[in-house]
Structure 1
Amino acid sequence: MRIGLLLERDVVPYWASMAVERIRASEHADIALLILDHGPPDRERSSSRGSPLYRVHAWYDRARHGNGQDPTLDVGIPPGLERVSRMRLGRREGAPRSLAEGDMSAIKGQDLDVILDIGGVTPIRDLSECSRYGTLSFHPCDGRCYDGRYAGFWEAVDRVPVTGSHVIRVKDGVATVVYRSFSHTITWSEKRNREQVYHKGISFLPRMVEALYQRGEAAIASEERVPLVGEAAPSRPAPGNRDILRYVARLASMNARNIASSITSEEQIAVRYRLGDGIPESFDGFTTLIPPKHLWWADPIVTRQDDDFYIFIEELALPRSRNLGHISVIKVDAEGRYQAPVPVLQRPYHLSYPFVFQHDGRHYMVPESSGARTIELYEAVEFPYRWEHVMDLMKNVHAHDTTLIRRDGRWWMFTNIMENPGAPVDDELFIFHSRDLLSEEWTPHPLNPVVTDVRTARPAGPFCERGGFLYRPSQDCSVCYGYAVNINRVVELSERSYRESLSNRIEPGHFENTTRVHTFSHMKGFTAVDTFFMRSRLRPGR
C-alpha cells in the first residue's frame, strides 16, 4: 500500500513517530509521500494555554508525574524518511481553508491508497479526495462529550469511568468514526490520563493500515458520521481558575479519605465457592475463605479429579509490592469441606491467574507470567502438587490472564496484551488460534484486538457453557481494576470473525461487605469467585 503522511511541520510527536516506525516495518506498506503543511492553523482547534491556575496545575502535574516517555513531546521525523518525496502545501488565494488546485493534482498523481494525518491543521475536506481511501487520523478523546482539547483533563475533572480515543476517516468530505477504544480514567493526574491514551494510540493507525491491506474498504466501513475537524463547536471551554480550584479540592478530599481509610482498614480478597451444577442465578450460600492478614489469595480457577474439586489460586505474601506471587491449591471434597492452601508452583518472577484445564486425560496449567514476558504451559506430573514446564506458547509478549478453549478442532487463546510501554494492560483482548496445543506458532486473529474496551476486555475466568451457548467471563475495570465481572455470550467465533454480547453482570452488591468482584470460575458441580472487601486494621485477628 502507498501511504502519504500529512505533517504540520518538520517534527512529529513521539507517539506518531513510533506509529510511523511500525508502519515502515510492515511488509505491505510503503510511505511514498511526506506532505508538509505550514499553512494557518485551525484557530478553533488551537489550544490556548488556559487560565493562570491551570498553567500552575499543569506544571505541577508534569513535575509530580514526569517519569517515563511523554508521547506528546515533539521529536524529529523518523529516520529512514529522508529519501521520501516531499511537498509543501499552498492555499487558494482568499480561501485559507482550501488547498491550491495544483497541490491537489500533484497529490492525486502519487496514486496514494491512504493519507495518515498526524498534523491536524490541514483542510481535510480537500485532502480527503486525494487518495483511494481518504485520510485517517487519531484522536485522544471519545469524540462525543469530549473533543480532545486539553486531552485527559475534562474526563479526570468529571470523574467519568472511561476515557475514550478513536480514529476518524474522512473520504470525499465525509467524516466517520472507524475505530473506538476506552481506558480507565486516571482521575488523579491529567498528564497520566492523557499519556496512557496516546501510548495505546500508537497502535491504532498501523492497525488500520494492516486492516486496509487485508480487507480493503470493508475494514473501515462505518455509518457513525461526525463533524469534520474544525467544523464542530468546542465541547468544553479552556479550563478556568474555578475549574482548577474545584478539581484540586476534590482531589484533596479524596486523598484525605484514602489516608483515613488506610489507617483503619485495608482491602483484602476472599475466595468464595459453592457446590452445584448450574451457573449461579443468585450468590447466596457460598462458603467464604478469608486469608490470614499477611496473605493475599486471588484468581480462583477450578478443576476436578475423581470426586474432589481443586481451586488453584494466586497466593502472595503481603505487602504485595515487595513479594512475588506463586500458585497454590485448595482441595474441596464432594461434601464441600476444604483443606488449607498448598503451594504447587513457584518461579523467580510473579505468577498469578492459574488457568488449569484438562486435555487427553492430562492436567495443564497456563499461569500468568507477564513478568517474564512469556505465556507458559505446564503439565501436572503428580496432580495437583507437582508441575513441570512443558514449553513457552509465546515469548516476548506482555500478556495477562491467558485463557484457552478448544472449539471445532482448534485451540483458541484469549489474552490481554499491552503492546506499547505506558499503555494500559486492561483494555485490549487478543485472540490467537492453533490446531495443536503444543505449538509455538499461534495465528493471530485478523480482528485483533477483538475487544478494545476496559469495561469488557480482560478475561475473568474460564469459558463456561449453558443451553448450548458459550460464555466468556470478563472483568469490568472501568471504575477500578476488577470492579465487576461480565458474563458475555459468544455470538460468533471463527478464524475471520468474533462477536460477543453482554448476558449478565456480577457486581459487588451481589455479596455482603464486598467492594469488587474479580474472578468467576464455573464447571459442572462447582463455582468459585473472588471478592474484595475492607478488613479492619484495628480488630485483632489472624
Structure 2
Amino acid sequence: MLTKEKSLRVGITIENDEAPFWVNEIAEAIGAIPSIQLIKVSLTGVRKSEPGIFFRLFAKIDHRLLPGKLSIHSRAKHDLSSNSITLNLRSDNDDLRKLAKANLDILFHFVDCPLSDSILNASHLGTYALQFGDANLPLAYVGFAEWFAQQPVTSVKIIQVKEGQNFNQLISESITKTDFLSLSRNQTAIFSSAVDLVLTTLHRLSNSPHSISTREQKINSKHPPGFVAIVAAFFRLGSRLVNKALNKFFFIEQWVLLYGDAQKIHSVDIKNFKPIIPPKDRFWADPFIVSQGNKNYLFIEELPYQTNKGHLSCLVTDRQGKIEASQKIIETPYHLSYPFIFSYEGKWFLIPESAENKTVDLYECVSFPFEWRWRRTLLEDIKAYDSTLHFFNNRVWLFCTVQRSEGGSPNDRLHLYSIENLLEGKFVPHPMNPIISDPYHARPAGKIFQHNGNWYRPSQVCVPRYGYALAFNRIDVLNENEYQETLISQNLPEEHPFLKSMHTYNSDGGFTIIDGQIKRFRFLN
C-alpha cells in the first residue's frame, strides 16, 4: 500500500532510446509530478509488423496535404543515463532481474509489440496499455476506421493487459471528436487525448492506487485495412478536400447574433428569434447581455476576416434589438473572445478568453460599457478556453476547458478551479480535474444560471464539429472535493431553418441572446 511518504514508481516503455511526441509529453509531465518517480524501460529486440506500402503512401500524402500541429511520426531520443532500464526482449533472465529490482508499481507499455507474462507481471499494480477505438490494432492505424467511416468520436482507453486471456481490464476511458478531413490531424488529436487520459489516471492512482474500479472488456481483433480500403480512402480524401475547397470558394460561414424572450430550460424555442447580422467582412459571436433600463448591452467577440484575430466589442441596442451604438472595448496583440461579464462587489468585471496568450485575465470596468482596464491575471501558463465564473457557497468557481498539448482538442476536458476572494490569492485546481471528459458537453457556453432552485451550466456540443449545438447541465454536487452534473437537454441548430451551429446562450432582463452560424453566398450582398 502506497503512503504519502512513498512515491508511485511508474515505468514507461520506449523502443531503443526513442519515443514519439505523445510519449515524450507523458514522460515530461510525469517527471514534473513530485509524487511519481519515473523509470524509463528501453526495449530492444522488438519484433513488430510495419503497415503495408499502400497505407504508408496514403498516410504520407495525407500528412503532406493536411499536417497535424505535431507530427505523429517525429521521434526524440531519451537520456537513459539515470532512472532507466534496458530490456532486451530476446535475451536471458538478466534483464528481467533488472526489471524486478526496479520495484515498479505500474508499467505503461507504449511500444507496438507484445510482452511476455514475466514482464506483464513484474509491477505491483500491473501493466497498462492504450487501446484506441474498439479493437487492438498497430499504432499506425489509429483513427483510420473512424476517419474512413466518419464516426463522430474515437475512444481512448487505458487497459490492464492480461496475457493469454480473451479479455482485458478497462481502467479508464475518454472520447475525442473525429477529424473527418485528415487522418494525420485525427491521429494527432487522438494521441494528445491519450496524453491527458494517462496523466489523469496517474494522478488518481498516485492519490489512491487501489480506489480505481475496473471492468472486464473483451478483446476484439480486426484486420488492418487492405488494398481496397486504401484505394477507397484515397477517393474519400480527395472528395472531402474538393468539397471543402468549393465550399470555401462559394460561401462564407458567418457567426451572427439572435435574440428573443427569456426561455425555459427544457425548451429554448429559437425559431422565433430575430437575427442581428454583422457586416459581411466579419463575424459576431460569444454574446453576453446586460439589460439596463430600456437598453441592452451586448458584449461580443468581433473577428474581421482580414486579420483573423478577435477583439471584444460592445453593441448597444434598444428593446427591439436595433443597434444604437457599437465600439471596440478591448484589443490585444493576441486573439480574444468569450467576454464573460459579471458584477462583483458593486463593480463590473470581464474575463475574456485569451488562450493564445496562455493566461486567464481579469478586466475591471472604468466607465460602463466602453472603458476597461486590466486588473490581474487569474491563471497563467495555461491554454484555458471560455472561462466561466460561478459564485457559490462563499467561493468563486472558475470553469474552463484546457488544451494540455499543442495538437490536442480545446473542447474535450472541463477543468474547475476555486478561490475565496477573486481579487487576491491563487486559484486552486479541483482534485477531480478534469471534471468532465466529453466533447458532447464539456466546453462552457455561457453564464451558469438558476432555474426552479437548481443551477444549470450551459455547454457546447462539439460533435460533429466545434460549437455545433447547446446543452444544459444541472449541477448536482459542487464542493472542494466533488463535482457532479446531469445532462438535461440539448438544442440543435436544425431547430432553426438557417443555422449550421450555435454555441453561446445568455439571458438578462427578460431577454435571451444566442449566436448561430449561417452560410452566406460569397458573391451576393
Taking structure 2 as the reference length, what is the TM-score of the superposition?
Answer: 0.89
Decide which of 519, 522, 530 is 2:507's aligned counterpart: 522
Q: Does 1:484 align with 2:469?
A: yes
The residue number in structure 1 matching 2:228 is 242
Give percent identity, aligned residues only.
28
Shift of 1:239: 2.1
Check the 8 A contact 2:475/2:486 in 1, yes or no. Answer: yes
Q: Does 1:251 align with 2:253?
A: no
Which runs of no fewer than 5 residues in structure 1 stay unpaired?
A: 93-98
Give the count of matched residue pairs. 515
Q: 1:148 to 1:38 in 2, by over 3 A?
A: closer
Q: Does 1:189 align with 2:168?
A: no
Q: 1:358 to 1:122 in 2, by over 3 A?
A: same
The residue number in structure 1 matching 2:279 is 292
Decide which of 364, 387, 393 is 1:408's aligned counterpart: 393
Check the 8 A contact 2:181/2:240 in 1, yes or no. Answer: no
Q: Does 1:161 align with 2:152?
A: yes
Q: Which amino acid aligns with 1:136?
A: Y
CA distance in 1, matches of 2:343, 2:400: 19
Q: Which amino acid aligns with 2:63?
A: R
Check the 8 A contact 1:147/1:234 in 2, yes or no. Answer: no
The residue number in structure 1 matching 2:447 is 462
Q: Does 1:175 align with 2:162?
A: no
Q: Secondary structure of the residue that 1:339 maps to in structure 2?
A: strand
Shift of 1:341: 2.9
Shift of 1:181: 2.3
CA distance in 1, matches of 2:425, 2:291: 28
The residue number in structure 1 matching 2:496 is 511
Structure 1 stretch 436-445 or stretch 178-187: which is displaced more?
178-187
Question: Can you list the C-alpha shifts for 1:3-30, whole angstroms capped at 9, x where unaligned?
Answer: 2334453433332123112212221112
CA distance in 2, matches of 1:400, 1:256: 31
Q: Secondary structure of the residue that 1:137 maps to in structure 2?
A: strand
Q: Secondary structure of the residue that 1:260 maps to in structure 2?
A: helix
Q: Does 1:138 align with 2:138?
A: no
Equivalent residues in 2 for 1:105-504, closer than 5 Å = 107-108=99-100, 110-123=102-115, 126-139=118-131, 141-143=132-134, 150-170=141-161, 175-218=168-211, 220-223=212-215, 225-227=216-218, 232-235=219-222, 237-276=223-262, 278-279=264-265, 280-306=267-293, 308-319=295-306, 322-334=307-319, 337-504=322-489
Check the 8 A contact 1:273/1:286 in 2, yes or no. Answer: yes
Taking structure 1 as the reference length, what is the TM-score of the superposition?
Answer: 0.87
Q: 1:341 to 1:259 in 2, by over 3 A?
A: same
Check the 8 A contact 1:5/1:35 in 2, yes or no. Answer: yes
Shift of 1:128: 4.5
The residue number in structure 2 matching 1:64 is 65
Shift of 1:118: 2.2
Shift of 1:161: 1.5
Q: Secondary structure of the residue that 1:499 maps to in structure 2?
A: strand
The residue number in structure 2 matching 1:53 is 54
CA distance in 2, matches of 1:104, 1:175: 23
CA distance in 2, matches of 1:477, 1:299: 15
Question: Can you list the C-alpha shifts for 1:205-258, whole angstroms capped at 9, x where unaligned?
Answer: 33322221223322x3222x224xxxx3523x2222321232222333333333
Which runs of no fewer than 5 residues in structure 2 stay unpaired?
A: 1-7
Question: Can you list the C-alpha shifts for 1:502-539, whole angstroms capped at 9, x where unaligned?
Answer: 11111111212111112111345121111111112333
Check the 8 A contact 2:9/2:36 in 1, yes or no. Answer: yes
Decide which of 5, 9, 21 is 1:14's aligned counterpart: 21
CA distance in 2, matches of 1:18, 1:259: 34
Check the 8 A contact 1:137/1:205 in 2, yes or no. Answer: no
Question: Can you list the C-alpha shifts for 1:464-513, whole angstroms capped at 9, x where unaligned?
Answer: 22111111111112211111111111222221122222111111112121
CA distance in 2, matches of 1:59, 1:336: 52
Q: Which amino acid aligns with 2:122?
A: C
CA distance in 2, matches of 1:325, 1:296: 9
Question: Can you list the C-alpha shifts for 1:169-210, whole angstroms capped at 9, x where unaligned?
Answer: 348987322222222212222122112222332343333222
Q: Which amino acid aligns with 1:58?
A: A
CA distance in 1, matches of 2:506, 2:117: 51
Q: 1:48 to 1:103 in 2, by over 3 A?
A: closer
CA distance in 1, matches of 2:272, 2:136: 43
Check the 8 A contact 1:314/1:352 in 2, yes or no. Answer: yes
CA distance in 1, matches of 2:293, 2:136: 55
CA distance in 1, matches of 2:12, 2:147: 32
The residue number in structure 1 matching 2:4 is none
Check the 8 A contact 1:265/1:534 in 2, yes or no. Answer: yes
Check the 8 A contact 2:287/2:515 in 1, yes or no. Answer: yes
* Alignment RMSD (CA, Å): 2.8
Q: Secondary structure of the residue that 1:19 maps to in structure 2?
A: helix
